[in-house]
Amino acid sequence: MSFAVGTAKAEDTIKVGILHSLSGTMAISETTLKDAMLMLIEEQNKKGGVLGKKLEAVVVDPASDWPLFAEKARELIEKDKVAAVFGCWTSVSRKSVLPVFEELNGLLFYPVQYEGEESQRNVFYTGAAPNQQAVPAVDYLMDVEGVERWVLAGTDYVYPRTTNKILEAYLQSKGVAPEDIMINYTPFGHSDWQTIVADIKTFGSAGKKTAVVSTINGDANVPFYKELANQGIKAEDIPVVAFSVGEEELAGLDTAPLVGHLAAWNYFQSVDTDANAEFIDAWHAFIGDESRVTNDPMEAHFIGFNMWVEAVEKAGTTDPDAVIDSIVGVSVPNLTGGYSAMMPNHHITKPVLIGEIQEDGQFEVVWETSGLVVGDEWSDYLPDSRPLIADWRAPMSCGNFNTETGKCGGKGVD
């Protein structure tokens, strides 16, 4: 009897998994995404839920431990029976969970910029691919700032290494000499930046305009920017453009020495649109703190969550196969004043913005694309990737179709 009641109760709600680090080196970035998801679920429930049922959040903490992400993902799908999972930040955490989502046919909405070179049937990439962040940022530095020497500084894992491989090839295709590119990697949580920053300073003293392109992730950013200030590196001398530093990360820093440094994202809190003003007001009301900021991955969850809701309503079910079929072509409002659409490669359309750090920890938009950019899952600048495309619609249903051989390459190419 009690079992039947429990089953009936479980069927009264649709469970949504939240898979973000609430402890460890990535908590500085991921905790706020958990909060954003709780807000989105609460707001959807006020509108009547989905398919006439309330949504129920299931929150787990994979604790910045990459193998633990896979365990927690399995738990969410097998034990908690969630209809979809919103989560991961680092690419190593995403790579860790991919086999689980594939094996159990779960749905993952991944909200953070990443290195591309992937298109998986069970994943929806709502953050930027390299052509929606890294490549436009380099174009801006080259064309507007006149940068000729490049420091590619990253945390030592798949996202920075692959992104920098793409950027190195792209820079060389633009005529940049190999000796004008310096590449450096540091571990997660790295804190002693004195020698590296001194090396950057020396590299930038050769008489050519130099910039740092930063794929440094997590809490290592705090001592990195402090050391830049300690050594007197100002934005006008050697600008840093970051791909993993947004409003949330700046909230923990003394921003005065960082003024003028840059970040490339697809959203900033400072964007002046009605949709963004509404989102910020809702966020402050939900979190009960006017000083809490919004940022790009939060907007990616906003877009991804609303796409999932629309796809489920369209399919009339939360069944993963039906949602995968119905979500391509779904278009929902973003917060920068337009609409973002889910493309057949499971990436979305986004504008690209370059923002300059202000003293108050916000960004002033100094450059943006004229329209939306379609996420490119396979880079045109890597020889092995150039002929590949992804299209998850029938009859192709392939994440790495080779346009030269006319064949699908299987599960994926790393």
Min mean pLDDT across 5-14, 78-87, 186-195 is at 5-14
Q: Which of 165, 153, 156 is nearest to 215 (CA)?
A: 153
pLDDT at residue 411, rounded to an integer: 45
Q: What is the pTM of this model?
A: 0.92
* Mean pLDDT of the chain, nearest integer: 94
User: Per-residue DSSP letters for 44-94?
Assistant: HHHTT-BTTBEEEEEEE--TT-HHHHHHHHHIIIIIS--SEEEE--SHHHH
- Does residue 3 carry a pLDDT above 50? no
For 206, half-sphere exposure in the C-beta direction (CA atoms, 13 angstrom radius) is 18
Burial (0-12, 13-18, 19+ Cβ within 10 Å), 362 = middle
Give the list of residues 6+ apart from residue 191 with CB closer than 8 angstroms, or none: 220, 223
For 304-317, how does the pLDDT look when each residue is reduced to its tens digit (9 = 90+)?
A: 999 999 999 999 99
For 224-235, how does the pLDDT look when each residue is reduced to its tens digit (9 = 90+)?
A: 999 999 999 999
d(CA 179, CA 39): 48
pLDDT at residue 219, rounded to an integer: 86
DSSP secondary-structure letter at 342?
Answer: B
For 346-359, how does the pLDDT look when each residue is reduced to its tens digit (9 = 90+)?
A: 999 999 999 999 99
Q: CA-CA-CA-CA torsion for 160, 248, 267, 271, nearest 10 degrees?
A: -150
Greater model confidence, 413 or 61: 61
DSSP secondary-structure letter at 12?
Answer: T
pLDDT at residue 7, rounded to an integer: 40
- Does residue 158 carry a pLDDT above 50? yes
| Residue listed under structure tokens 């896979």 | 70
User: Per-residue DSSP letters for 143-194?
Assistant: HTS---EEEEEEESSHHHHHHHHHHHHHHHHTT--GGGEEEEEE-TT----H
For 249-287, how does the pLDDT look when each residue is reduced to its tens digit (9 = 90+)?
A: 888 788 888 899 999 999 999 999 999 999 999 999 999
Q: What is the mean pLDDT of residues 154-165?
A: 95
pLDDT at residue 181, rounded to an integer: 98
Q: Which of 260, 289, 265 is nearest to 32 (CA)?
A: 289
d(CA 41, CA 372): 27
Q: Which domains does the chain possess?
A: 2-128+273-350 (3.40.50.2300)
Confidence of residue 410 (pLDDT cuts 50, 70, 90): low
- Does residue 156 carry a pLDDT above 90? yes
